[in-house]
A and B are shown apart, each in its own frame.
Chain A
Amino acid sequence: MNKVMSNKWMITLYIFPALLLLLVLIYFPLVLSAYYGLMEWDGIGDMTFIGLKNFITGIQDMKFWSSVQHSFLLALFSALSLLGYMAIALILASNIKGSDFFRKIYLIPMLLSSVAIAQLWIKVYNPTNGMLNSFLMAIGIDNPPAWLAEPSIVLYAIFIPILWQYAGFYILIYYAALKNIPESLVEAARIDGASPWQVAFKIKLPLIKGVFKVTIVLAIVGSLKYFDLIYVMTGGGPNGASEVMASYMYKLAFRSYDFGYGSAIGFLLLVITLIVTYMVRKLTVSDEEELQY
């Protein structure tokens, strides 16, 4: 038995295809992006080594920092919205009729492509004929804004469909976690005279703390690397008002053909994402009194 299942040839055979793809198409490119960041390169011609110049430019580039700021703002909004999703999941999981139907409806936007969602919301936000402004005008608001053309609101206007897209996903995760709590625990608390609020805050929420931490990491990391919807809806505009890290990197490389600088920004995106992931994990997983059930 031991001999068969620790046969080196067999192990190599089974792990090789997946590991090869992982190393060649994910890890190796990450290392290369740091290397290309040291080059001046238009994507087609020769590379010229220019040392840390791209990284120094990046650190002084106000457009880059504003995209960083926008990404972090999205991360903040996503993390805060989790509280709302948790509240909805608590309602859904409290033996309400039709909870299964509701959570399935909520999940629908998550299944659609970002391109389709982006195109749909471009229409929703259309200043004259969009769903939103038509509704606002119908209830007597005379001059509703052109949501995607106004630099001061465009970023928030884009956050809405992103939250809309992911709401069902997080509600689903919390719902599944809440349903995992043994009924006997909740029942015991009820018999001891705990109110529904106490059951929710003293019993249920502490029990699913672990899942909550995972979703915080997911929401923050997902936000920092977010791209699709923003790229399609505004392309980062108007004038960089809705630019995020990934869209800025994409623009540098595939629109301005500045592949060297684009690689440097791509590498900074990786570094920022990994540092933030590490910090969020450290902050949330530091207390080891996680309850097992």
Chain B
Amino acid sequence: MQRLGYAVLYVILVMIAIVQIFPLFWLFLFSLKDNQQIFAQSPFSLPDTPHWENYVKAWQGNIGTYFFNSIWISAVAIVLTVLFASMATFAITRMRWKLSKLVLGMFMVGLMIPLHSALIPLFKLYLSVNLIDNPISVFLSYTAFHLPVTMMILLGFYYTLPKEIEEAAIMDGCSVNRLFIRIILPMTTSVLSTTVIINMIYNWNEFVFVNTFISSDKYKTLTVGIQNFIGQYQTDWGPIGATLIISMVPIIILYIFFSNKIVEGMSSSAIKG
């Protein structure tokens, strides 16, 4: 009886796993087919001959530029976000000042704010300083809007750092900057890497800011770029599938190597709220 119950539970878990990944598998299948195969044969059939030229076609559509933009814009935003969030978390948890609770509260309320409510004024703000259609507007926005969640992940860790270490360092005449750079930051490398990966995923997948602030093709990131590319290829399924697969590959690779970090980051970004 108990074994039967166990088997039923397993079947449920496996079915959910299939639901979660089968659409992606199907996407991969049709990325290797031509339209004739897609429309004439069963959608679940394997491709007769894999049409890798779909990937060539996809890559020709400027996707290389989008890819490169996604990488460097994400990278700049990650560095700014993690650095500023670390500094702010350090100031809030380790230094003594009256308004620290209030400021922390302001960051945490930031988690609840719908970015669409700020979008029009942000657009106008960037317009007035000539940053529309400039990647600076994009990575500044990424940084600002991801500070709260990054700080939330960092906070739990900073609270557990023993006070004795900094007391000893200060006694020895260590300056605040030295304490932060030489002692605190190295102690937080593990949680820092979690925040880097979480930000990488968020930035890589971001859509609204780029779609709103950027109009030139040369600055578009992958999400907005593929959206345009797909618009042109409406009925040509193969290259569309190939484009989507290309956009997913970096995240999937990241996941294969850092799944534990990602799992940890994803759960700590919510639990401590």
Which A residues are closer than 8 A to B by beta carbons? 1-2, 4-8, 10-11, 14-15, 17-19, 21-22, 24-30, 32-33, 36, 43, 88, 91-92, 96, 98, 102-116, 119-121, 123-124, 128-131, 134, 138, 164, 167-169, 172-173, 175-177, 211, 214-215, 217-218, 221, 224-225, 227-228, 232, 245-246, 249-250, 253-254, 259, 262-263, 266-267, 269-270, 273-274, 277
Contacts and interface: CB of A to CB of B under 8 A. Distances in A.
A114 B247 CA distance: 11
Interface size class of B (residues with CB under 8 A): 35 or more
User: Nearest 8 A-B pairs (CB), nearest first?
Assistant: A225-B114, A113-B205, A29-B121, A32-B121, A29-B118, A18-B88, A14-B91, A270-B117
Contacts of B167: 1
A270 B20 contact: no
Contacts of A245: 116
A102 B10 CA distance: 10
Contacts of B26: 124, 131
Contact of B30 (A121, A123, A262): A123
Contacts of A274: 112
A111 B103 CA distance: 31
Contacts of A106: 16-17, 20
Interface centre among A21, A115, A274, by most chain B C-beta atoms within 10 angstroms, is: A115
Contacts of B151: 18
Contacts of B6: 96
Contacts of A18: 84-85, 87-88, 107, 147, 151
A108 B256 CA distance: 10
Interface in B210-260: 212, 222-224, 226-227, 230, 237, 240-241, 244, 247-248, 251-252, 255, 259
26 contacts: A14-B91, A17-B88, A18-B85, A18-B87, A18-B88, A19-B106, A22-B148, A29-B117, A32-B121, A36-B121, A96-B6, A96-B9, A104-B263, A114-B207, A115-B227, A128-B39, A138-B42, A167-B16, A168-B20, A172-B263, A211-B271, A250-B116, A253-B123, A254-B212, A266-B117, A269-B117
Given A15-B103, A21-B140, A176-B267, A33 B43 contact: no
B3 interface: no
B169 to A, nearest CB: 10
Contacts of B95: 5-6, 10-11, 14
B208 A228 contact: yes
Contact of A25 (B10, B141, B227, B252): B141
B165 interface: no
Contacts of B182: none
A218 B273 CA distance: 9
B161 interface: no
Contacts of B247: 113, 115-116
A28 B83 CA distance: 23
Contacts, number: 272
Given A21-B144, A115-B207, A123-B30, A173 B271 contact: yes
Contact of A33 (B30, B117, B240): B117
Given A10-B95, A113-B223, A26 B145 contact: yes
A149 B162 CA distance: 59
Interface in B113-145: 113-125, 140-141, 143-145
Given A5-B96, A134-B42, A250-B119, A224 B114 contact: yes
A110 B198 CA distance: 12
B122 A107 contact: no
B33 to A, nearest CB: 11
Nearest to B254: A111
Interface centre among A24, A28, A119, A274, by most chain B C-beta atoms within 10 angstroms, is: A119
Interface centre among A29, A121, A262, by most chain B C-beta atoms within 10 angstroms, is: A29
A146 to B, nearest CB: 16
Given A19-B103, A96-B13, A259 B120 contact: yes
Interface string B158-174: 00000000110011000
Contacts of B9: 91, 96
Contacts of B207: 113-115, 228, 232
Contact of B94 (A5, A114, A115, A267): A5
B227 A263 contact: no
B185 interface: no
Contact of B17 (A102, A110, A128, A211): A102
Contact of B21 (A8, A105, A177, A232): A105
A167 B20 contact: yes
Nearest to B12: A91
B112 A26 contact: no
Nearest to A103: B263
B9 to A, nearest CB: 5
Contacts of A217: 273
B70 to A, nearest CB: 10
B75 interface: no
A253 B13 CA distance: 44
